[in-house]
Every structure is written in C-alpha cells, then in structure tokens.
C-alpha cells in the first residue's frame, strides 16, 4: 500500500503551499504543512541562494521545489529546444508592438535603456533551464520535487528518487494523470479548472474522484479553488489525501507580492479571474484586467506558442510591474497576476501560520459535522 502524504513527508497536516516566496515556504512548513518553492524565473545562482536561505530557516522541516519542464515547447524537427537567438527570430514584431502600444495607451513609462530581458524571457520555460535548476536543487535536501507542466523525463524521475526525494506532478485530465503514474511519480496533483496559472477545463469536484480512481494506489492531492479547511475536507471525502494550494498564500503577510497587486486580489471576486493564453501561450488563469481583456479581444493578435508569447510580452509586463508606484494609474489598471477562483474567499492579509491554523480548525469542524450527519442550516 502506498504511503499517505502525511507519512511520506512526516508532516502534521497534508496542506501543500505553492509559492515563489521563500518566507511563505518556510512559514507553512514550520506550521505543520509543507511549503513548495516555485523555481520558475530564478537563475541557477538565484535559486541556490533561495534554497540555502530556506534550509537555514526551516528548522529541519520538509519543503519542496517546483520546476517547469514543459512537454510542449517550441522545438525543431529533431525535438531539440531552440536557443534564445533562434527563438527571438520567431517572435512576430506585431505582437511586441501590440503589447508596447497597450502600455503607451495607458501612460506606462518606457523601460530605461540597458534593461536586458531577452535570454531570460526566451529560456525561462525551457527544459534546459529546468535541468540546471534541478542540479541546484539536488545540492540541497528538499523532500519533494514537483514538475508543474507535463510528464517529468524518465531520467529525472529516476535520479531524484535515487536521492530519496519524492516526485510529484500536476495533471488536469485523467489521461494526463495516467501518464504521470506510468512515469513512476510518487504523488499526483489533480489540478482543477478553478486553479491559478496553467489549468484545464475540468472542475476540481469532478476531476479529483476520477483521478483518484484511475491512478490508485498513487496518492492524489486536490488542487484548484481550495482556500479553506472545509474545502480541503470536501476534497478528501472525494478521495484526495491532501490539498495543494496557491492563491491563498499570495495575500499572506509573508508574501513578496507588490502591495498594489495584493490589494487588487483581495478586492477581486471569483468572477474576476479567467483562463487566458496572453501570458505564456498556454491557458492559464489570471486576474482579469484591461491587459488580459485587450489580448483576448477578437481583433487582436493570436497568442503565440510557449515560450514565444512570453517573449513577445516580457518587456511590456516588466514596464507595468516597474511602474506600479509611478505617477498615474495606468500600470495599476493593467497589472495582472496568476489568481485562482479562490480569491473570492480571501478578504484580508493574514500571517501564514494563521492561515494554516484556520485550515486545521475549519477542516476539523467540517469532519465533525459530516460525522454528525451533515451541516446545520
């Protein structure tokens, strides 16, 4: 029989917190869950520094690292990933111009001369960079390594597991989950339609029991729309053995998210998120703003495949992020962020330890009420 996540990682409560912020990762792990650090957009040198800090502050508690090794990435006929220069030659000037003119229309200041984004934008989503990040991660002692897009390569799974590190992967459809099981992962995250970032079309309530049945005995975590312990309890009634969460940590006290973006998320409703291809080229749920609406209009350029769309828009998105506190509110109107539908349940800034405690308390209340015959009216 496969180990449950609590036993697998020696944690008190099977709450997994995905975050690009090291402080969130540490706080959740120390509170009895497990923080998972998102490595995307970090250079190997930066990632090494972040993981060194995490291990110095996590007090021996388990934590994880999330990498991106997408199966669908622009490649040549021999399946070779193109280099940065080759990729930039594929980016239509019209897409770059559209993004720049959108910023101009809202009065967003241009970038100063000398800001170089080309190689970072081109390769951030590539397997070659992810493998460099993997080498860094293996210098440390994470308990879990997760691949966020697609099936992790067989050699990666074997090498990571040989180090005693568990391997997890996200799946938005049953057939994707079956591929993950065939690849030998230790843990599958059933990522429902409500989730932030890259997500599929099947809701968490429907996806989780299907994946649980299809991949057993491999343990499954539920993801998508979960921001409370009651929701976590519901997911576990469906057969999940824990919850993978993300949006709820964006507005935590430890989050490094710019206060402008944080306040937009707190003020937003669940209806103010939508799946869009305008950020990465793949459908990903983000906060709806004039920026996403402009790209999703019928008379605008069609989004490019990964990573070309990211490359075409990196300069514009960087202009927006660097102008959030400048005069005028153009950048503040345009700025978007990955955001799941769970943001409709988030109304204030709270420390991570309080969020974990509220999860545990409302989870226990839900379990007790189910055992007592259901919720009171």
107 and 131 inside one domain: no
Both ends of the chain: CA-CA distance in Å? 39
Same-domain check for residues 13 and 105: no
Does residue 65 sit in the same domain as residue 169? yes
Q: Is the peptide bond before 225 cis (omega within 30 degrees of 0)?
A: no
What number of other Cβ atoms are within 10 A of residue 161's Cβ? 15
Cα–Cα nearest to 126, from 199, 168, 172, 71: 71
For residues 257-273, average pLDDT: 97
Residues in the chain: 377
| DSSP for residue 270 | G
According to the model, what pLDDT value does residue 124 have?
Answer: 67
pLDDT at 71: 66
- How high is the pLDDT of residue 295? 95
**pLDDT tens per residue across span 116-129:** 555 555 566 677 88
Half-sphere exposure of residue 57: CA atoms within 13 angstroms, side-chain side: 15
204/316 same-domain check:
no
pLDDT value at position 72? Answer: 55
Over 70: is that where the pLDDT of 185 sits? yes
Residue that is written with structure tokens 């983000």 in the block: 286
How many other β-carbons are positioned within 10 Å of the β-carbon of residue 362?
16
Residue 316, pLDDT > 60, answer: yes
pLDDT in tens, 298-310: 889 999 998 899 9
pLDDT the model gives residue 111: 85
Q: Which residue has the higher pLDDT, 279 or 87?
A: 279
Phi first, then psi: give them for residue 76, nearest 5 degrees.
Answer: -85, 180
pLDDT at 257 over 70: yes
> Comparing C-alpha atoms, which of 264, 184, 227 is closest to residue 345?
227
Cα distance between residue 25 and residue 235, in whole Å = 22
Does pTM top 0.75 for this prediction? yes
pLDDT score, position 122: 53
Using 50, 70 and 90 to split pLDDT, how confident is the model at 190?
A: very high
202 and 330 belong to one structural domain = no
Task: Give yes or no: residues 223 and 150 share one domain.
Answer: yes
Q: Please answer whether residues 143 and 62 qualify as being in contact, where contact means their C-beta atoms are separated by less than 8 angstroms.
A: yes
How far is the CA of 223 from the CAs of 26, 183, 341, 366, in angstroms?
20, 20, 11, 18
Give Cα 363 to chain centroid, integer Å.
23
Measured between alpha carbons, how far is residue 48 from residues 38, 91, 134 in Å?
Answer: 13, 31, 10
Asked whether residue 314 falls in the same domain as residue 360, the answer is no
Residue that wins the pLDDT comparison between 149 and 36: 36
Share of the chain above pLDDT 90, in %: 80
Indicate if 305 and 186 belong to the same structural domain.
Answer: no
353: Cα within 13 Å, side-chain hemisphere: 4
Examine the domain organization and report whether 206 and 159 are in the same domain.
yes
> What is the rounded average pLDDT for all residues in the chain?
92
* Long-range contacts of residues 230-234, Cβ cutoff 8 Å, at least 24 apart: 230/362, 230/363, 230/365, 230/366, 232/15, 232/359, 232/363, 233/362, 233/363, 233/366, 233/367, 233/370, 234/205, 234/366
244 vs 326, higher pLDDT: 244
326: which DSSP letter? Answer: S
Residue 269 has pLDDT above 80, yes or no: yes
Measured over the CA atoms of residue 178, residue 183, residue 189 and residue 194, the dihedral's sign is negative
Which strands form 284-287's sheet, in the order they lie side by side?
197-198, 284-287, 273-276
Mean pLDDT value across residues 332-341: 97
* Number of folded domains that form the chain: 2
> Taking 80 as the threshold, does the pLDDT of residue 284 lie above it?
yes
Q: Are 38 and 147 in contact (CB under 8 A)?
A: no
Determine the pLDDT at residue 91: 92
Are 130 and 54 part of one and the same domain? yes
Q: Are 8 and 190 in contact (CB under 8 A)?
A: no
* DSSP per-residue string spanning 134-184: HHHHTTS--SEEEESSSPPPHHHHHHHHHTT-EEEEEESSHHHHHHHHHHT
In this structure, the answer to whether residues 89 and 138 fall within a common structural domain is no
Give the mean model confidence (pLDDT) for residues 138-158.
94
Burial class (CB in 10 A: 0-12, 13-18, 19+), 234: buried
Q: State percent of the chain over pLDDT 70.
A: 92
pLDDT one-digit tens code per residue, 52-104: 999 999 999 999 999 988 765 555 455 456 777 888 889 999 999 999 999 99
Count helices and strands in the chain by DSSP H and E runs = 17, 11
**Are 163 and 36 in the same domain?**
yes
Q: What is the CATH number of the domain that holds 160?
A: 3.20.20.70
For residues 165 and 144, the answer to whether their CB atoms sit within 8 Å is yes
Residue 67 structural domain = 1-73+125-250+350-377
């Amino acid at each position: 029989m496969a180990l449950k996540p609590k036993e697998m990682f020696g944690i008190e409560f099977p709450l997994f917190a995905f975050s690009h912020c090291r402080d969130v990762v540490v706080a959740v792990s120390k509170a009895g869950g497990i923080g998972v650090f998102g490595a995307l957009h970090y250079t190997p040198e930066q990632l090494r520094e972040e993981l060194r800090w995490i291990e110095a502050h996590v007090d021996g508690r388990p934590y994880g690292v999330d990498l991106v090794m997408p199966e669908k990435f622009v490649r040549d006929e021999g399946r070779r990933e193109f280099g940065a220069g080759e990729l930039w030659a594929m980016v239509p000037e019209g897409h770059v111009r559209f993004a720049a003119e959108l910023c101009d229309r809202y009065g967003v200041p241009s970038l100063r001369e000398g800001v170089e984004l080309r190689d970072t934008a081109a390769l951030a989503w590539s397997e070659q960079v992810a493998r460099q990040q993997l080498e860094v991660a293996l210098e440390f002692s994470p308990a879990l390594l997760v691949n966020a897009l697609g099936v992790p390569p067989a050699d990666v799974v074997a090498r990571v597991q040989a180090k005693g590190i568990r391997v997890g992967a996200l799946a938005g459809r049953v057939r994707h989950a079956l591929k993950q099981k065939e690849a030998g992962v230790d843990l599958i995250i059933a990522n429902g339609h409500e989730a932030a970032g890259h997500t599929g079309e099947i809701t968490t309530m429907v996806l989780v029991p299907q994946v649980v049945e299809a991949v057993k005995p491999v343990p499954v975590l539920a993801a998508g729309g979960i921001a409370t312990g009651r929701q976590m309890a519901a997911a576990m009634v469906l057969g999940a053995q824990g919850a993978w969460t993300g949006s709820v940590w964006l507005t935590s006290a430890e989050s490094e998210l710019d206060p402008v973006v944080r306040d937009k998320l707190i003020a937003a409703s669940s209806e103010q998120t939508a799946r869009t291809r305008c950020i990465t080229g793949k459908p990903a749920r983000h906060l709806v703003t004039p920026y996403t609406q402009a790209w999703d209009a019928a008379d605008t350029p069609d989004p490019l495949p990964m990573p070309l769309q990211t490359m075409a828009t990196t300069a514009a998105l960087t202009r927006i992020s660097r102008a959030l506190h400048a005069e005028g509110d153009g950048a503040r109107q345009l700025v978007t962020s990955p955001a799941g539908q769970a943001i409709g349940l988030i109304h204030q800034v709270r420390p991570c330890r309080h969020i974990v405690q509220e999860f545990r308390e409302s989870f226990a209340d839900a379990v007790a009420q189910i055992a007592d015959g259901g919720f009171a009216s």
